[in-house]
């Protein structure tokens, strides 16, 4: 029996039970659509995470002040434990280190003309730009004189520039942060979403000394200013307070040196801060590579879980095909006997029933692919989840539908082919 004849006979049989065929294919449709949507969401999430990681940089260590000198760790009245001297010691005593960026931060309202915007500010040193891979879209970064003299200058993030200036060029304009006037000297290239889901462009940068001397307040700078006002109750000296930083970002040249550098920083800072053996550190070191690895593994596991859940729907659809094909064999026993009596062999009978299962599976697969693509696009447009459609996923879904038809259609087809022609003809359906 020719393939065309087998296919024509299979189509004719399915048309005779059209509604049943559609309902049988529904399980495959749902399964394929679910696979495409969920895998696309998983891949989109992974891609977004990779983009965040590339912006953040994985060969980095973050050192945070975590002093407990006040009544509450890190709260008002507690002293920041890290200083410029600590950063310089890391730079000079650990050769594997490339850059050492120091920063303090706060928040406030920035104003230009009638426009205002609530944002965060960071006081930074020169290494902050290469460590965080910040590039300039307009203007220039701070000069050496800006850093040394606490100049009233500012570099804007793209979000702040857009909110204050719209489409106008902000270079040279004067804005106010609180009561402090600042001259715009540059605008950062946009990074979009940050590593923790925040708007990475919603910030302004000032020289570190400018942040310390002109912007730090008890409300906006927390530890930095609070400890300066209560020096009588702290063990830190006044010069140490004046040079405190909230964070030190360390860039390491080679990824394989990260663990070693982390150990060296811990040992160096414990020595410099005269922390007794067994006592708690007044700082914390975070390995960005470890955080990245953990998040990546979690995302991949979630993607696999989503794909597994969707695959279960597909398996259920396949079982539905097997069930219906077995019912069809039972209903058509006499027909099978007649075909065998006029010369149809077991192979021809098996081919026909297998073709029917394949048609149901493939038809459901193609409809499921269309629904899956549509569902993924709708999720991307109206949902909060990132979606990435991949041709490989669509091809995988097509392969799934073919495999489903072959696997779950084989047993009913074989059962039909093994019927005894005489017994089939005697069957009263």
pLDDT(52) > 80: no
pLDDT(315) > 90: no
**3-class SS at 72?**
coil
Number of domains within the chain: 2
Structural domain ending residue among the three candidates 249, 281, 313: 281
Which among 66-70, 265-269, 339-343 has the top mean pLDDT? Answer: 265-269
Average of per-residue pLDDT across 103-124: 92
> In this structure, what is the dihedral angle of CA atoms 418, 424, 428, 429, given to the nearest 10 degrees?
50
Closest CA to 221 of 112, 68, 79, 85: 79
Together in a domain, 194 and 302: no
The predicted structure's pLDDT at residue 363: 86
Q: Is residue 324 part of a domain?
A: yes
Which segment of 295-299, 353-357, 365-369 scores lowest on mean pLDDT? Answer: 295-299
Together in a domain, 239 and 307: no
Tell me how far apart the alpha carbons of residues 314 and 183 are, in angstroms, rounded to a whole number: 61
The predicted structure's pLDDT at residue 291: 63
The beta strands (E) that lie in 246-373 are given as 247-252, 283-287
Which segment of 6-10, 238-242, 291-295 scores lowest on mean pLDDT? Answer: 238-242
Structural domain ending residue among the three candidates 252, 281, 310: 281
pLDDT(329) > 60: yes
Query: Which of the pair, 194 or 277, is modelled with greater confidence?
Result: 277
Give the DSSP letter string of 166-197.
TTS--TT-EEEETTEEEEEEEEEPP--B-TTS
Q: Is residue 192 part of a domain?
A: yes
Together in a domain, 74 and 32: no
12: number of CA atoms within 13 Å, CB side? 7
Q: Is residue 88 part of a domain?
A: yes
Together in a domain, 113 and 222: yes
Together in a domain, 323 and 386: yes
Pairing label, strands 115-124, 283-287: unpaired
pLDDT(145) > 70: yes
Q: Are 121 and 205 in contact (CB under 8 A)?
A: yes
Give residues with Cβ within 8 angstroms of 113, minimum separation 6: none
Q: Is residue 62 part of a domain?
A: no
The predicted structure's pLDDT at residue 1: 54
Structural domain ending residue among the three candidates 281, 304, 330: 281
Together in a domain, 198 and 253: yes
Together in a domain, 44 and 98: no
The predicted structure's pLDDT at residue 384: 66
Together in a domain, 202 and 314: no
The predicted structure's pLDDT at residue 239: 43
Q: What percent of the chain has pLDDT over 70?
A: 79
pLDDT(38) > 90: no
- CA distances (Å), 123 to each of 44, 189, 209, in order? 34, 18, 7
Q: Is residue 289 part of a domain?
A: no
Element (H, E) at 122: strand 115-124
pLDDT(130) > 60: yes
Q: Is residue 288 part of a domain?
A: no
Average of per-residue pLDDT across 130-152: 91
Query: Which of the pair, 49 or 317, is modelled with greater confidence?
Result: 317
Tell me how far apart the alpha carbons of residues 201 and 317 are, in angstroms, rounded to a whole number: 47
Q: Is residue 382 part of a domain?
A: yes
The predicted structure's pLDDT at residue 236: 38
How sure is the predictor about 177, in pLDDT bands with cuts at 50, 70 and 90?
very high
246: number of CA atoms within 13 Å, CB side? 23
The predicted structure's pLDDT at residue 44: 79
The predicted structure's pLDDT at residue 25: 82
Together in a domain, 274 and 303: no
pLDDT(225) > 60: no
Together in a domain, 157 and 258: yes
The predicted structure's pLDDT at residue 308: 75
Tell me how far apart the alpha carbons of residues 91 and 60 are, in angstroms, rounded to a whole number: 14
Alpha-carbon radius of gyration of the chain: 34
Q: Are 213 and 131 in contact (CB under 8 A)?
A: no
Together in a domain, 256 and 364: no
Q: Is residue 60 part of a domain?
A: no
Contacts of range 138-142, beta carbons closer than 8 Å, 24 or more positions apart: 138/169, 138/170, 138/171, 138/186, 138/187, 139/171, 139/184, 139/185, 139/186, 139/187, 140/185, 140/186, 141/185, 141/186, 142/185, 142/205, 142/207
The predicted structure's pLDDT at residue 112: 94
Q: Are 67 and 224 in contact (CB under 8 A)?
A: no
Together in a domain, 191 and 330: no
Element (H, E) at 313: helix 288-331
- What does the mean pLDDT of the chain come to? 79
Which among 184-198, 228-242, 321-335, 358-372 has the top mean pLDDT? Answer: 358-372
Q: Are 46 and 303 in contact (CB under 8 A)?
A: yes
Domain that holds residue 403: 3-53+295-426
């Amino acid at each position: 029996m020719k393939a065309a004849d087998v296919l024509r006979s299979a189509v004719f049989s399915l048309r005779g039970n059209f509604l049943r065929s559609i309902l049988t294919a529904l399980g495959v449709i749902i399964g394929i659509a679910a696979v495409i949507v969920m895998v696309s969401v998983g891949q989109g999430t992974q891609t977004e995470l990779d983009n965040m990681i590339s912006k953040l940089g994985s060969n980095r260590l973050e050192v945070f002040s975590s002093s407990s000198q006040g009544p509450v760790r890190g709260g008002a009245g507690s002293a920041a434990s890290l200083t410029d001297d600590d950063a310089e010691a890391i730079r000079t005593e650990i050769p594997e280190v490339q850059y050492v960026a120091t920063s303090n931060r706060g928040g406030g309202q920035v104003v230009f003309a009638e426009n205002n915007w609530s944002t965060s500010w960071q006081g930074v040193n020169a290494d902050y730009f290469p460590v965080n891979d910040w590039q300039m879209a307009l203007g220039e970064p701070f000069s050496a004189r800006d850093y040394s003299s606490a100049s009233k200058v500012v570099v804007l993030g793209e979000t702040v520039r857009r909110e204050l200036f719209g489409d106008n060029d902000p270079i040279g304009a004067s804005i106010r942060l609180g009561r402090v006037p600042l001259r715009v000297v540059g605008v950062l290239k946009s990074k979009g979403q940050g590593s923790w889901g925040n708007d990475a462009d919603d910030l302004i940068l000032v020289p570190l000394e400018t942040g310390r001397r002109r912007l730090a307040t008890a409300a906006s700078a927390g530890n930095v200013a609070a400890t300066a006002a209560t020096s009588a109750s702290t063990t830190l000296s006044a010069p140490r307070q004046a040079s405190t930083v909230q964070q030190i970002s360390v860039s390491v040249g080679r990824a394989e040196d990260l663990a070693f550098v982390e150990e060296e920083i811990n040992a160096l800072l414990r020595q410099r801060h005269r922390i007794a053996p067994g006592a708690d550190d007044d700082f914390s070191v975070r390995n960005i590579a470890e955080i990245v690895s953990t998040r990546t593994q979690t995302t991949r596991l979630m993607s696999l879980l989503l794909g597994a859940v969707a695959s279960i729907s597909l398996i259920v659809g396949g079982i539905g095909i097997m069930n219906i094909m077995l019912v069809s064999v039972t209903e058509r026993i006499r027909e099978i006997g007649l075909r065998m009596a006029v010369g149809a062999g077991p192979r021809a009978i098996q081919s026909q029933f297998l073709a029917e299962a394949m048609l149901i599976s493939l038809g459901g697969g193609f409809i499921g692919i269309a629904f899956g693509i549509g569902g993924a696009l709708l999720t991307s447009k109206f949902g909060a989840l990132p979606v990435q459609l991949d041709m490989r996923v669509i091809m995988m879904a097509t392969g799934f539908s073919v495999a489903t038809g072959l696997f779950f259609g084989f047993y009913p087809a074989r059962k039909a082919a093994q019927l005894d022609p005489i017994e089939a003809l005697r069957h009263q359906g």
